[in-house]
Amino acid sequence: MSSHSAFAEAADALAVSVLGALDGTGGAVQLARYADDAPDTLAALAAVRVLGADVFSPHLLAGHPFPAQDTAVVAKAFDAFPASDAPEEAAVALRDHATAALLARISGDDALGGLAPVPADDAAPDDTADWSAWSVRMAQLAPLATLGLDGPVHEAARRGALSLSRGVSRSILRRDFPTAVRLVRWLAWLRYDGAELPLDPDVAAEHVWLVGGAGPRAALDLAMARHFLELPPGTAPKEAARP
Amino acid sequence: MTTIPEPVTRAARGMADRALSWLHANRHLGGLPPGTTETMADPDSVYKPLGETTLAASLILRDGVAGPGRLAAAQSLMDFTWEQFRRGDMIYERQLRHTLMTDPLEMYAPFVRCGYRHEALDRLLVHRSRMRSVSSVEVLPNRRLAVANAARVVGLDQAEDLNALAGATWLGARPEPWAINWITAYAMTHTVFHLTDWGGNPAGLPPELADYVRTWLPVWIDIWREVGQWDLVTELLVVGASIEDPYCRAEDWEAVAALQHEDGLVPRDSDPVDDDPQRRFTDHQHTVVVAAVAGSIALARAAGQR
């Protein structure tokens, strides 16, 4: 019997697996084997949906293969937990669409992009005047801060470097470290993209890690941030898939 | 061009007027106990608050944007605190007894700003300012700025390089804004207060520090508003009103104005306010002083004085 806690445990376990693949301490993720071996298949599929675009990280960042059977698992996860098209869940819709777009691109099967509807034109949070609420919404979209994606959310991030930096500062001061690490991930992506930042994301990332501790999913956000921070600033390719 | 939104000036007017009324109405609760001498056991209990009240009144007189009745009340407060200090004799005696102490000079400066002078103290301060021992006392950089600004107001010759002093403060390092804490935030506000001479000279804050302050002030106000640290929040409003391109967000000013009691008290934090008049004065006098200063500076900026 799957439960919310079983889903959370499965998401943590998958995050650990992705982390291991990213930093070389574990083997390839092998989503198909992960789903087959899981004691609770539904929880395993839920974990795939929770991690969203991050399940592709070992492929996008470390060059691991993403075989057809793994593509099938992601598609199956969308079957089990259909993409959201509820207007009040804009962040979920954007994350779902990004996952489906990457899946289509990596698999070469454009039809898979249809697993999630295209979000409304105004779905990307763009009101940086209210930097505090805006940065919280951007934290929910941290999985989009990855290689191979570019779109309205990324454009908003480029316009909102100051707001994201304020959001990092605010969340650290409030000891809201899960939000802090997601926003640090955006700052790291922005630096890789070539943005000038009003604070040093390297120091902030290390501080959040040392002071805040982290579960596997926060550790995954941090690993993504560190990956971007290790790349020379401003070296992001200018062409990427629009989610 | 200085722009202060209209809702801010409205909130600032109420804060300043009512805070001044409260300070004036309750001034006797802040008087020095009979028999107080220049060597006091606890200078922070009454002596320092008297200086803070003096500072608020002096800035309201300097800014001159209060109505005639309020200006008269500010003048009356200055007269009251000057009398408390026995027309400067007590400040003089404290400086005479404690050569290296800086508080007499800092206490005297607001009086000088408003034309009150004590001849023997003036001579003593000139003598003291020539002493290497005095200028070599080891103090925190933001405190050194306080002394330097007081010396400037009093008209003493001094060799302090204010920009070099600014660079030695926490703010001067433009550090990680997320690594600030409560006491460091107060140090930062005072660095701005002294470099800008309490909002009278916004250009006194070096441009790169003003940019830094303007960048991170929204975060600091946000987090200390959330935990109800109203004394610090109000100091941060002073900072925002004192920089070259002021940062005065209506919602922040209205939040503090909404907290102000009918009689003018502004609570220092989110704890309940005691009913006992003396307790109320002791606990919240500093925050009321800061509210008066914040309002006066914002109104002066809105009036285009600087």
Distance CA A217, CA B161 (A): 51
Same domain, A5 and A84: yes
Where residue B48 falls (left for φ over 0; alpha for ψ -120 to 50; beta otherwise) is: alpha
Q: Is residue A243 a part of any domain in this protein?
A: no
CB contact under 8 A, A169 and B215: no
Q: pLDDT by residue (tens digit) across B232-263?
A: 999 999 999 999 999 999 999 999 999 999 99
Q: Among residues of chain B, what percentage have pLDDT more than 70? A: 99
DSSP tally for chain A: helices H, then strands E: 12, 0
Distance CA B231, CA B54 (A): 18
CB atoms within 10 A of CB B277: 10
The length of chain B, given as a count of residues: 306
Q: Is residue A92 a part of any domain in this protein?
A: yes
The length of chain A, given as a count of residues: 243
pLDDT computed for residue A4 by the predictor:
78
Q: Which long-range contacts (CB under 8 A, 24 or more apart) does B52-55 make?
A: B52/B285, B52/B286, B52/B289, B53/B23, B53/B27, B53/B77, B53/B81, B53/B285, B53/B289, B54/B78, B54/B81, B54/B82, B54/B107, B54/B110, B54/B111, B55/B110, B55/B198, B55/B289, B55/B293
Same domain, A118 and A145: no
Same domain, A133 and A68: no
Cα Rg of chain A, angstroms: 17
Give mean pLDDT, residues B113-124.
Answer: 98
> Could you give the dihedral angle defined by the CA atoms of residues B10, B13, B18 and B24, in that order, rounded to the nearest 10 degrees?
180
Same domain, A71 and A138: no
For residue B177, the chain A residues in CB contact (below 8 A) are 169, 199
Higher-confidence position of A4 and A206: A206
Out of A132, A162, A169, whose CB is closest to B178?
A169
B167 touches chain A (CB under 8 A): no
Residues in Cβ contact with B11 at an 8 Å cutoff, skipping those fewer than 6 apart: B250, B253, B254, B256, B257, B295
Q: Is residue A75 a part of any domain in this protein?
A: yes
Same domain, A199 and A139: yes
Q: In which domain, by residue range, is A106 found?
A: 1-122
The domains found in chain B, sorted by start residue, are 6-302 (1.50.10)
Same domain, A141 and A210: yes
Same domain, A55 and A108: yes
pLDDT computed for residue B38 by the predictor:
82
- What's the sign of the alpha-carbon dihedral B104, B281, B232, B21? negative
Q: Is residue A32 a part of any domain in this protein?
A: yes
Q: Is residue A63 a part of any domain in this protein?
A: yes
pLDDT computed for residue A9 by the predictor:
92
CB contact under 8 A, B219 and A199: no
For residues A166 and B218, the answer to whether their CB atoms sit within 8 Å is yes
Q: Please give the mean pLDDT across all residues of chain B.
A: 96
For residue A204, the chain B residues in CB contact (below 8 A) are 176, 178
pLDDT computed for residue B306 by the predictor:
73
Residue of B184, B214, B219 to mutate for A, most A C-beta atoms under 10 A: B219
Same domain, A79 and A149: no
For residue B176, the chain A residues in CB contact (below 8 A) are 199-200, 203-204, 207
Distance CA A18, CA A7 (A): 16
Q: pTM to 2 decimals?
A: 0.94
Same domain, A191 and A116: no
Same domain, A133 and A46: no
Instruction: Domain count for chain A, please give it.
Output: 2
Same domain, A104 and A22: yes
Q: pLDDT by residue (tens digit) across A84-143?
A: 878 788 999 999 999 999 999 999 999 999 999 888 877 888 777 799 999 999 999 999
For residue A166, the chain B residues in CB contact (below 8 A) are 215-216, 218-219
SS3 assignment, position A241: strand
Residues in Cβ contact with B178 at an 8 Å cutoff, skipping those fewer than 6 apart: A168, A169, A170, A172, A173, A199, A204, A207, B219
Same domain, A115 and A135: no
Of A122, A156, A178, the domain-final residue: A122
ipTM of the complex: 0.94
CB contact under 8 A, A198 and B176: no
